[in-house]
A = this chain, B = another copy of it.
Amino acid sequence: MSGMSGSSYTETGVDTDLAASAAASLGSILAATASFPDDAGQPMVENGYYASALRLTDELALAVCTDGVGSKLLVAEAMGKYDTVGIDCIAMNVNDLICIGAKPITMVDYVGVEHLDAEVMAAVGRGLVEGARQSSISIPGGETAQLPEMIRGHQPGKGLDLVGTAVGVLPVDRVNCGKDVAPGDVVLGLASSGLHSNGYTLARHALLEKGGLDLAAHHETLGRTVGEEMLEPTRIYVKEAMALWESDVPVKAMLHITGDGLLNLTRVKSKVGWCLDTLPEPPAVFRLVQELGAVDIAEMYRVFNMGIGFCVVVAPQHVEAAQTVLQTAGSESTVIGRAVAEPPETVQLPQHGLTGTGTAFQASSSG
């Protein structure tokens, strides 16, 4: 529950519960389409997991997912700096694809603009190219739509929306929804690069409105300007996933920590709960959002990644091998907790006295 006098996401105009409910309702309406394809195209993954998988042949499955950069684009607009949001667009999609075991191969972009600006488009393009390079994917096409009556930004004419749809492939037997996760399995956390691309409405409210910070001003705690911190591109974890698949380390689940923060762990399709009792100290930007916005710690863990951008779940006997593979791929990982038998579909954060289910954390009854 968020503090009465502090900021919460709902107060900022984004109702995440309503969003979840409306999206779920749309999802259940669209479930009727599963039977429409006559051969290829039937879904292999339950709705609501990170990406969809469809059987293409006896051996090969296709994976597809779509996500946008959201209101982080308003920071790019305010900074007049558009050359990194393309990385975010790709990261938000390829990091979802790898969760189900798919190797990303391509992405198409949708750019909706209030008015076309060739320099902005070129900068967006440079970020997309960099994200594609980091993910080893092609961007063979996309759609640019001028919609002056439908897209807006903060400054007149500057409206921009950026969405991607990524496609990957995987062997049919690698489709992974975390069904094999068992109590005792260990959660390895990979560091995020900062806010990534979630929670920007709350972060902007806390840092810029309540906190009165200037995007262009150097901030001592952050060691750079507020705008630089807020535009830090989302980390891409494709190389790490590829390295694990190429190794002989069995991966029980991979989880991209997006909206709903560490509650993303409850997405796994096995009846376990999670006890994350060795979380690292969140990076400075999160502490700053919390302080300046007077945001309740439960709300912080509900909205933000709090320093953990991606989780890999492995059996205890494979922890060391997994960490070695990840390190070789360029990523340090830390043990942040483990799967537990009870209570199921719950994330306990004992260091913070929090227990989370669904889309909210609250004070633990036995905190």
Q: Which A residues are closer than 8 A to B by beta carbons?
A: 13-15, 18-19, 21-23, 25-27, 29-30, 32-34, 36-38, 40-43, 45, 47, 51-52, 54, 56-57, 60, 62, 64-68, 70-71, 73-74, 105-106, 108-112, 116-118, 121-122, 124-126, 128-129, 132-133, 135-154, 159-161, 163, 165, 167, 169, 201
Contacts and interface: CB of A to CB of B under 8 A. Distances in A.
A145 B26 contact: no
Contact of A27 (B15, B47, B141): B141
Contacts of A201: 149
B26 A111 contact: yes
Given A33-B137, A149-B154, A125 B41 contact: no
Contacts of A128: 29-30, 33
Contact of A25 (B36, B68, B121, B137): B121
A152 B150 contact: yes
B108 A141 contact: no
A148 B14 contact: yes
A54 to B, nearest CB: 6
Nearest to A49: B141
A147 B129 contact: no
A104 to B, nearest CB: 8
A33 B139 contact: yes
Contacts of A42: 138
Question: Helix, strand, loop or mixed for chain A's interface?
Answer: mixed
A72 to B, nearest CB: 11
Contact of A146 (B14, B117, B135, B169): B14
Contacts of A169: 40, 56, 62
Contacts of A74: 149-150
18 contacts: A14-B148, A19-B116, A22-B121, A26-B142, A29-B126, A29-B128, A52-B141, A64-B165, A64-B167, A68-B145, A70-B145, A71-B147, A71-B149, A112-B163, A143-B163, A161-B161, A165-B165, A167-B167
A137 B26 contact: no
A83 to B, nearest CB: 11
B105 A40 contact: yes
A36 B66 CA distance: 20
A153 B51 CA distance: 30
Given A38-B136, A151-B151, 8 more contacts: A19-B144, A30-B125, A30-B142, A41-B138, A57-B60, A64-B165, A66-B109, A68-B145
Contacts of A124: 26
Contacts of A153: 149-150
A150 B147 contact: no
Nearest to A133: B36
A47 B106 CA distance: 14
Contacts of A161: 112, 147, 150-151, 161
A118 B70 CA distance: 20
Nearest to A132: B33
Given A150-B152, A150-B153, A108 B29 contact: no
A132 B26 contact: no
Contacts of A143: 66-68, 163
Nearest to A51: B141
B22 A116 contact: yes
A146 B38 contact: no
A65 B152 contact: no
A140 B26 contact: no
Given A138-B37, A141-B51, A152-B150, A110 B29 contact: no
